[in-house]
Amino acid sequence: MADILFDGLPVLDLLEITPSTSVVAQITQRDQSSISRIYRQVSRRLGLEFRKHTDGRYRASSNVVLLEGLRRSSQWLRLQSTPAEPRWLACGHAGQVSAALQPTLMEHCGHLPQVHQLLLERVLDLAVLTGPEAVTQPNNSELLELPLLRHPEGVDRIVLRADLRDQPALQALITALQNQVQQHLRQHPEQEWLG
C-alpha cells in the first residue's frame, strides 16, 4: 500500500489536474496500472469514492472534509520542504513566457473556474493565467490576483490563495516569474510590464 500523504494524495491531486492515469504515470514516473491501483486503494481506505465522473474529471464524492485536511497538510509539506516544491501551472501566453522555469504542470490547464477551484482546494499552489484585460479579480475573495504582463492576447496574471500571499516559497516563485517576464520584455518590448 502506498503512503497516503506522500504517494497517494499526490496521485489524487494530479488526477484532478489532468484527468488521465497515463499522464499522471508519466509525471510521477510510474506505470499506469500503479496509478490506477494507488488511487483506488487510497479512495477505498479513506472512503472518498474518488473516481472519474461523467464530465471526464476525477474527484471525491465522500469524506471531502478529510480530503481537505490532508490537502492542507500536503500543501504545507510541499511549501516547507527543502527545497520547496510548489505545485503550479502556467497557461496560454503565460506558459510560453515562464517555460524556462519548468512548471511541472504547464500543459494541463483546464477552464479558468476549474483552475480557481484547484487553487481553493489546495491541489495547486499557484497558477499563471492569461485572460482578458477587463478581468480584475477572481470571483472569490479567497484568491489573490497579481497582474504580471500585458500583451496583445490579454493580461498574464499570477493567481494564488490570499492566505498564501506571504508564504516564502511562493514569494520566491513569484520573484522568479517576475524576473522571467523582465527577460521576456527585453525580447518583446511591445509588451508591457505590470508587476
d(CA 193, CA 133) in angstroms, rounded, equals 13
Domain ranges of the chain: 4-80, 88-193
pLDDT of 191 above 70: no
Q: Give CATH for domain 88-193.
A: 3.40.190.10
In the CATH hierarchy, which fold is given to the domain comprising 4-80? Answer: Arc Repressor Mutant, subunit A (1.10.10)
Residue holding cell 469524506? 63
Angle in degrees, 0-180, between the axes of helices 32-46 and 64-80, rounded to the nearest 10: 120
> Tens digits of per-residue pLDDT, 33-42?
999 999 999 9
Do the domains at 4-80 and 88-193 have one common CATH topology?
Answer: no
> Tens digits of per-residue pLDDT, 120-165?
999 999 999 888 776 555 567 899 999 888 888 888 899 999 999 9
Count of CB atoms situated within 10 Å of the CB of 32? 14
